[in-house]
Amino acid sequence: MVDLGEAKKRAEGLRKEIEKHNYYYYVLDSPVITDEEYDALYRELVELERRFPEIITPDSPTQRVGGKPKEEFRKVVHEIPMLSMDNVFTQEELQSFVSRVHRILEREVDFTTELKVDGIAVSLVYEDGRFVLGATRGDGRVGEDVTENLRTIKSLPLRLMELLPGRLEVRGEVYMTKEDFASLNRSREEDGEPLFANPRNAAAGSLRQLDPNVTAKRRLRIFVYQVVHPEEYGLFSQFQVLSWLRNKGFPTQGNERICKNFEGLWNYIEEWKEKRHSLAYATDGVVVKVDDLTAYELLGTTAKAPRWQIAFKYPAEEQRTRLLRIEVSVGRTGALTPVAILEPVRLAGTVVQRASLHNEDEIKRLDVRVGDYVYVRKAGEIIPEVVRVDYSARTGQERPFAIPENCPVCGATVVRLVGEVAYRCPNKSCPAQIKESIKHFASRDAMDIKGLGEKIIEQLVDKKMVGGFADLYKLKKEDLISLDRMGPKSAEKLINAINSSKDRPLSRLIYALGIRYVGSRTAEILAERFKSMDNLAKADIQDLSDIPGIGPQIASSIVAFFRDEKNLATIKDLARCGIKMAEEESERQEGPWEGWKIVFTGELEKATRNEAENIVKDLGAIPSSSVSRNVAFVVVGRNPGSKLAKAQELGVKIVDEQTFWIWVDEAKSKKGN
């Protein structure tokens, strides 16, 4: 039996091992172990910390998952302002910047060039090599504390590769990849939520979530590019800074270059003009910095930007092409989406033949017609969309478009509900809806069935081998071998992936069912509240509306879903196939604070908020994010928020941190007896 001391030692070893492999994966892009081996290390650490919650540290990889929602963001004053950048758009303007630098310094200098990632700037503070504070830029002088949200970013090191005594502040850019941005917008469109305009907006909106659990789902990434007070670490060159950051475990972009003259600068900009489109993330320009850090003081800053750097912005790319026809696609919720079929045109590094027209209202707004010449661009450099029409090129032969009265796939009469912009196919047996629903069911945030891709799903539905979710679990190896490009080994691998998905958490299954307006975070809330699919199915609108975060629209949608006999039959069929329908209740002894609701406000000195909440959970209490008369007591740390005033107003018991830890020790003693 492992004792506390052994558990603490093993957990510390696991944390170092996991962070080392994060460095190989995210910084060096050269993993040395398989995903399965990494998962085994992580699971062992999770189990140790579950059994011994007192050994959890704030920099543990397990603490990347979101904590409790905040009521508001704490303000953070930047020691050195986080200024923005001035932009230039032409070769002449860039030359003017270089000449001005040389004139002020009275000498020629080297420049470092880095690609400008389209994200949101953040400050990161480490103490003795451990991540303790993260903040947004805000207005440059005062930002917002987003520490817990930043912890969810897997590429951000929670501890550095080597012990670095004292305080270190670095700065970087939080971003979202093109693939994750497109996936997020697809999910939001299916759930009837507004779409993000570009990856930068998506990253900003995700980082500024009051609920870190939402941020954790958004797969944010980070590049670090600056050290505050670099001279303290013997750093006097920006190129040297980037190398130093990589060695300490920070992810950097890796495309920087030293340029000795203006010709070198311009060659770099021209080189990446097209090449940037092949990157996994969106870039909208090149950042040019004086490489010599000792020159920064002399160059100085304006009120809003440093004079030692400039951003060269690439022009937004649009291309003119002809609209050949408009096709209509059908999504998993039955929404009909018009898609422009275009004469092929090269745009932002790829050949574009299809572009979104969004909905009929957008077509009317643009007055776009079949045969028109239109201008196309990529939203966020990713999703092609028609932005305007060249009306001057019209000949009178162009044809207006209207959404068809019948579904183009199954022929059902389409409907448009009051207050919605989309027309929908109401036939739940429509093959297009079945295909899209199964794609969603198998997706990474749902049942995560690896290897079950779009092509395979299309074949399974077209050959009538699969007509619903449960049919996936009835497939045999011989069935799959009959599909195109599917050999015995691939078939066996897919069958194993399907079977291993049976034990996914209840929240994943709820999300996988595709209930309208129920995203992955809402599914987690429902699973935590109801514990089983059966309990959720019995909930009425009032039960659901009482849950924070569940509004009347979501509640009505959930109730309607479980009143549909076809949906209930699907759930029963899944249960018969062995799909887990309830959360496993962990066995534990009743704690001395069993059922108490405890609220924390302000910063604690002896532990992080997550650590304190884990401790009170182990004692049987329930950490709460809001103050009510049912709260046992409120623990007040430094800089308390509005919860303190609320507790005073309601007459709820208030204790300081020192008293709280005394009570914790007493409660632990009782628990041990």
116 is catalytic: yes
Over residues 53-103, the pLDDT tens digits come to: 888 887 788 776 545 555 678 889 998 989 888 889 899 999 999 999 999
Question: Residues forming the annotated binding site for Zn(2+)?
Answer: 407, 410, 425, 430
**CB-based contacts of 558-567 (< 8 A; 24+ apart in sequence):** 558/515, 558/518, 558/526, 561/513, 561/515, 561/516, 562/536, 562/537, 566/428, 567/513
Q: Which of 662, 619, 655 minimizes the C-alpha distance to 640?
A: 655
Helical packing angle, 178-190 and 199-207, nearest 10°? 70
Q: What are phi and psi of 301, to 5 degrees?
A: -140, 160
> What confidence score (pLDDT) does residue 588 get?
47
Q: Tell me, what amino acid is at 349?
A: G
* Torsion sign, CA atoms 67, 217, 533, 564: positive
Q: Determine phi and psi for 143, rounding to 5 degrees.
A: -115, -165
Q: Record the tokens describing residue 75, joined without a space.
A: 């303000």
Tokens representing 232? 């303290």
Residue in 285, 303, 317, 311 with CA at minimum distance from that of residue 93: 311
Contacts of 529 (CB under 8 A, 6+ apart): 547
Question: Can you say which residues are annotated as belonging to the binding site for NAD(+)?
Answer: 35-39, 84-85, 114, 137, 173, 289, 313
- Using the 8-state DSSP alphabet, how is residue 110 labeled? -
- pLDDT by 10-residue block (mean), the chain, 673 residues: 83 88 72 78 83 82 62 84 88 95 95 94 94 90 91 91 89 94 80 77 89 86 96 96 94 94 95 89 93 94 87 86 95 91 86 89 93 86 84 95 95 89 90 95 92 93 95 94 90 94 94 91 86 92 81 91 95 96 66 84 81 82 79 85 83 87 84 60
CA 69 to chain centroid, in Å, comes to 16
Instruction: Convert the pLDDT of each residue in 393-439 to its tens digit.
Output: 999 999 999 999 999 999 999 999 887 888 999 998 999 999 999 99
Q: Which amino acid is at 512?
A: A
Domains of the chain in start order, with CATH, are 4-64 (1.10.287.610), 75-313 (3.30.470.30), 319-393 (2.40.50.140), 431-576 (1.10.150.20), 597-672 (3.40.50.10190)
For CA atoms 511, 517, 519, 525, the dihedral sign is negative
Residues 6+ apart with CB under 8 A from 317: 347, 348, 377, 378
Q: How far is CA 188 from CA 56, 79, 181, 605, 641, in A?
A: 35, 38, 11, 39, 32
Q: What global pTM score does this model have?
A: 0.57
For the chain, count helices (H), then strands (E). Answer: 25, 20
Residues placed in the known binding site: 35-39, 84-85, 114, 137, 173, 289, 313, 407, 410, 425, 430
pLDDT at 407: 96
3-class secondary structure, 226:
strand
For residue 330, list its beta bridge partners: 336
Query: CA 641 to CA 601: how far, in whole Å?
Result: 6
Distance from C-alpha of 374 to C-alpha of 323, rounded to nearest angstrom: 7
Element (H, E) at 624: strand 622-624
Dihedral, CA of residue 38, residue 58, residue 213 and residue 170, to nearest 10? -90
- Token pair belonging to 458: 């299309």
Separation of alpha carbons 23 and 25, rounded Å: 5
For residue 587 the two structure tokens come to 């066995």
Residues 622, 587: contact at Cβ < 8 Å? no
- Listing DSSP states for 314-377 in one string gives PPPP-EEEEEEEEEEEE-TT-BEEEEEEEEEEEETTEEEEEEE--SHHHHHHHT--BT-EEEEE
Tell me the one-letter amino acid at 508.
Answer: R
- What pLDDT does 72 receive? 73
Torsion of CA 115, 118, 119, 125, to 10 degrees: 10
Catalytic residue among 70, 116, 178, 378: 116
Question: Could you give the strand order of the β-sheet that contains 654-656, starting from the edge strand earlier in sequence?
Answer: 622-624, 597-601, 631-636, 654-656
Structure token digits, residue 60:
């543990």
